[in-house]
Amino acid sequence: MTEGNECLPAWQAKQLRRAIDAAGVALWSWNVDDDQLTMDERAFALWDMPPSGQVTFEELSSHIHPADRDRVQAAFDATRGVIGSYEIDFRIMAGEEIRWISARGQGDDADIVNRVMFGIFLDVTGRKQAEEGHELLAGEMSHRVKNLLAIASGLTEITSRSTTTAAGMACELIQRLTALGRAHDLVRPLPGTEGTAALLGDLFAVLLAPYDDLGAFSGRVRVAVPRMGVGERTATALALVVHELATNSLKYGALSSPNGTLDIACSSEETNVVVVWTERGGPPVVEPTTAGGYGSKLVSRSMSAQLGGSISYNWSPAGVIVTLRMQKDRVSN
């Protein structure tokens, strides 16, 4: 390009377009006087709109996610007062799909030509999904750490009731915490593993061993399930669910009481495997009046997304009854 000539030679324009396409950049311009936007084909495709010569900001805004619409409108109105470059991320509705877009440009009328401002759109959906995944993982890990601390406290209380000496309490508490460590290993995702991980009854026995007052044969925790193999993915998801239910029971339910008992029963239907978790002998049960916390959401997500099933609660005064339903064809995965 020669000085004073704003037109690029044809070969340079072609190479520039190839570079823009390779980067996934969509171009737009905005006439600040009549509020008209002009976009290239990639931008119209990104917004899931038919190509046209111009589009008004109002028409474009109708595709912005309702939760972001006012924020985006205010941001664009303020761009002319922004000194230097600006960037805003927001969601749009592309048919049934939600996409994340990053709009970038120059504010304060920087480099404005003929009352027209220029900028780009980038599809940042993948980045946003990764960020959401990281936030979800961080929240889940924080929740698990808090649960483990609560469990350790509860196990200490249980052990103090069943031992009479400091040495005996230390020995039994170490055994319980060791069992808890084995159970926690089952909650940790194991990528790239296939096939049968364990028998369903053994899985419950390992997960619930730390909560039994005198070990596996005391009768405080009773497991009665048919012989059935479970795969690695199911074992991981189900372990997380059982871990959460046991934590809640240790805090508020049957496992918090010296006389409390827990029964696990299982039956097989035509397409589902049904596990019934029954607590008895604990404090009086009162149905929650507020929405469940992070743990409840985590359990529901695991049951539906990973096991193709559901979880339901019966807040019986004698003790809560939890019913877990899993798709039979997913149990072995």
DSSP codes of every residue in 215-237: STTSSSEEEE----EEEHHHHHH
Structural domains in the chain plus CATH codes: 17-123 (3.30.450.20), 129-331 (3.30.565.10)
Per-residue model confidence as pLDDT tens digits over 83-123: 667 788 889 888 878 899 888 877 666 556 667 777 888 88
Strands 25-31 and 319-327: unpaired
pTM of this prediction exceeds 0.75: no
Per-residue model confidence as pLDDT tens digits over 225-272: 888 888 777 877 787 788 788 888 888 899 888 889 999 999 988 888
d(CA 290, CA 293): 9
Is 153 strand, coil or helix? helix
pLDDT score, position 83:
66
| Strand segments (E) across the chain | 25-31, 36-39, 55-56, 84-94, 97-107, 116-123, 196-199, 221-224, 229-231, 261-268, 272-280, 310-316, 319-327
d(CA 161, CA 234): 35
Do residues 86 and 102 touch, judged by C-beta distance below 8 A? no
Six token digits for residue 207 = 């997960």
Closest CA to 218 of 273, 162, 268, 274: 162
303 or 277, which is more confident: 277
Q: Which residues, listed in sequence order, are joined to residue 122 by a DSSP beta bridge?
A: 25, 102
d(CA 93, CA 30): 21
**Per mean pLDDT, which range of 93-107, 144-158, 239-253, 276-290 is the poorest?**
144-158
